[in-house]
Amino acid sequence: MITFWSELAGLLPFEWAHYGFMQNALLAVLLVTPILALLGCLVVNNQMAFLSEAMGHSTLTGLAIGVLLGLREPMASVIGFAVVLGILMFLMRRYSAAPPDTAIALVMACVVSLGVVLLSRGGGFAKFSSYLIGDILTISPRGILGLAGLLVLILLVWVFLFNSLFFVHLNRPLAASRGFPVRRMELFFTILVAVVVATAMPWVGLLVINSMLIIPAATSRNLARNTRQYILLAVIVGILCGILGLVSSFYWDTATGATIVLWSCGFYAISALFRR
Amino acid sequence: MNNSGSIRSCGECCTRLVNFGVSLGSKPVLDHIDLHMHCGELTAIIGPNGAGKTTLLRAMTGDLPHTGSLRFIHRGNIENSKPLRIGYVPQRIEIDSTSPTTVMDMFASSLSRWPVWLGTRASVHHKTRECLALVGADELINRKLAEISIGQLQRVFLALALIPVPELLLLDEPVSGVDRAGMELFYQTVSRMRKDFDLSILLVSHDLAAAARVADRMILLNRSVLCDGPPGEVLLNPLIRSTFGFGFTADEIPEHDPRGNSLLHDRCQWPREGSGPA
């Protein structure tokens, strides 16, 4: 599969397309950007941008726990921790007496500082800084396979559960009156965001992962006339910025995740000018 | 939705809340609510802010957990009772101005399992248009929720609440923030739907005079039912003055709207507690 891809990408008439790491990175970008763009559409619809930001930052603590436990593959603890955090965030949002944004900021502050304290023991934080800015250029075939699995998962959810996830967040009592399982859907979506963010974090970087989630959706909202256009346009913007960002980071020698985000900021600015 | 003729008034169906209560956290918000509502009957719920009116409606939709029971009783036969099919028109829905969600998107996501982002099936589109036409809103089908007026939005929500036809329709201050003409139009539509579909309607309202005009029956709620009866009686109750700080005299009671199909009084015994609050 990967060999086939490498032959295919090698046919591109560009210098960068002949490097093995760039071929892998391109495939990874083509997988991760639609995942984040699709998810981002509902995150923005549900006004959960701050929640997803908090989840992105909190993945650091999952990593710290994995390192502390001496796991060879810290991703297991990153994703496991994300699920726990998703449940916690759901409960906070639903039952906390504090306003939701304060509650989220509070949880994020506790969790992130715990992560930093654990990782910085003995002054060793520097070796984890790659997680902050992400490193899609080093992605392995296994990492690509993980992203492919995630894309399949998201597409399945988007085909079978999209309407419920969409309607539940329109108005809760209205959804309840029409027999939607409101609480289960909210919990499921929060966990889904946590898992996706955690899985994509090492490649994109936890500083910018939320931007890759939110900006394609925000850009699309400026132009879309209905939900169909909203979703499709967000995916197109996400993929386009991903490719532009990857290639320009190659020539500029910059961090890929952040370069992708800068491109999407540009797209957002242009879309704001054409807002309907 | 075009088979309105097939659902005829029986006058014997009844929605019954028995010892209904709701707590938010450890704090009881509503307690010992016992209500019977017949099909075709429009009941207005009035009460001060924080009385638990919206909470009552939200608990009836299933959004909040409640104690006690809520049943729909078919032709007076308790054995035959089943969970209610409820239509709900929310108080005021916050839609951010950039939201791309259209009226069609909202209907399609609720009526069909086919994901909205893959497009709308012709049958769903047709059904939605038909249903919107009932409330005179079919031209809004492709508009965004964020760009139509509050009055239009409330009629769209009413249309959604009517599909499938509910046994009980809950209206939570449906005309707050709607202009006079929009309000008239909304109540006219509700009156017509009520006749056509023989709905029980529970209406929460701040506008006592408007509520008295359209309702067959009025309930003063403040954590429990304080007063229950025809609007003309309830508005003259001294509790109205002590609750709201103003009262009505007999000639200030608005006339009952003739469009309101109020034929169904006195089939159930209503708990009457005209005396002072506990």
A127 occurs within a structural domain: no
Query: Is the confidence at residue A273, as pLDDT, over 90?
Result: yes
Spatial distance between the Cα atoms of B139 and B128, rounded to a whole number of angstroms: 11
Q: What is the CATH number of the domain that holds A78?
A: 1.10.3470.10
Q: Is residue A163 part of a domain?
A: yes
Which of A94, A156, A160, A226 is best to mutate for the B interface (most B CBs within 10 A)?
A226
Number of domains in chain A: 1
Give domain status of residue A172, yes or no.
yes
Q: Is residue A194 part of a domain?
A: yes
- Residue A187 in domain: yes
Residue B112 touches chain A, beta carbons under 8 Å: yes
Tell me how far CA of residue A231 lies from CA of A203, A275, B38, B71, B111, in angstroms.
Answer: 23, 16, 45, 41, 20
Measure in Å the smallest separation between the Cα of A44 and chain B Cα atoms: 9
Do A213 and A40 meet the contact criterion of CB atoms below 8 Å apart? yes
Q: What band does B266 get if pLDDT is binned at 50, 70 and 90?
A: very low
List, in order, residues 6 or more apart from B119 with CB less than 8 Å away. A228
CA distance A36 to A215: 10
Contact list, A268 vs chain B (CB under 8 Å):
none
Q: Is A126 domain-assigned?
A: no
Assign 3-state DSSP to chain A and report helix, strand, coil percentages, each to 5.
85, 0, 15
Whether B162 shows a pLDDT value over 80: the answer reads: yes
CB A225 within 8 A of CB B144: yes
Type and span of the H or E element at B77: strand B77-82
Which of B154 and B258 is assigned the larger pLDDT?
A: B154
pLDDT digits (tens, 9 = 90+) for B15-54: 888 889 998 877 888 988 988 888 788 999 998 888 889 8
pTM (2 d.p.): 0.86
Kindly list the residues from chain A whose CB atom is less than 8 angstroms away from the CB atom of residue B118.
Answer: 159, 228
Please answer yes or no on whether B98 and A174 come within 8 Å at the CB atom: no
Among A80-84, A240-244, B43-47, B94-98, where is mean pLDDT lowest?
B94-98
Mean pLDDT of chain B: 80
Phi/psi of residue B220, nearest 5 degrees: -95, 115
CA distance B210 to A37: 47
Q: How far is the C-alpha of B62 from the C-alpha of A181, rounded, in Å?
A: 10
In order of their start, the domains of chain B are: 9-85+165-278 (3.40.50.300), 96-163 (no CATH)
| A12/A221 Cα distance (integer angstroms) | 33
Q: Does A185 reside within a domain?
A: yes
Please state, in angstroms and rounded to a whole number, the distance separating the CA atoms of residues A240 and A30: 9
Helix (H, G, I), strand (E, B) or coil at B100: coil
At B198-243, the pLDDT tens digits run 888 999 988 888 888 888 899 999 988 988 888 888 888 888 888 8
> Residue B269 above 50 pLDDT?
no
Query: Residue B38 and residue B161: Cα distance in Å, rounded?
Result: 18
Q: Using a CB-CB distance cutoff of 8 angstroms, which residues of chain A are in contact with residue B100? A: 220-221, 224-227, 229-230
Contact A167 B106 (CB under 8 A): yes
Q: Of the candidates B87, B90, B100, which has its C-beta nearest A226's C-beta?
A: B100
Instruction: Kindly state whether residue A233 falls inside one of the protein's structural domains.
Output: yes
A257 lies in which domain range? 2-10+19-121+132-273
For chains A and B, count residue pairs whose Cβ atoms are closer than 8 Å: 96
Distance, in angstroms, between A153 CA and closest chain B CA?
A: 15
CB-CB under 8 Å, A166 with B116? yes
Contact A174, A24 (CB under 8 A): no
Please judge whether B93 and A178 are an interchain contact, meaning their C-beta atoms are less than 8 angstroms apart: no
Q: Chain A contact for B110, CB < 8 A?
A: yes
Question: B109: which chain A residues are within 8 Å (Cβ-Cβ)?
Answer: 162-164, 166-167, 170
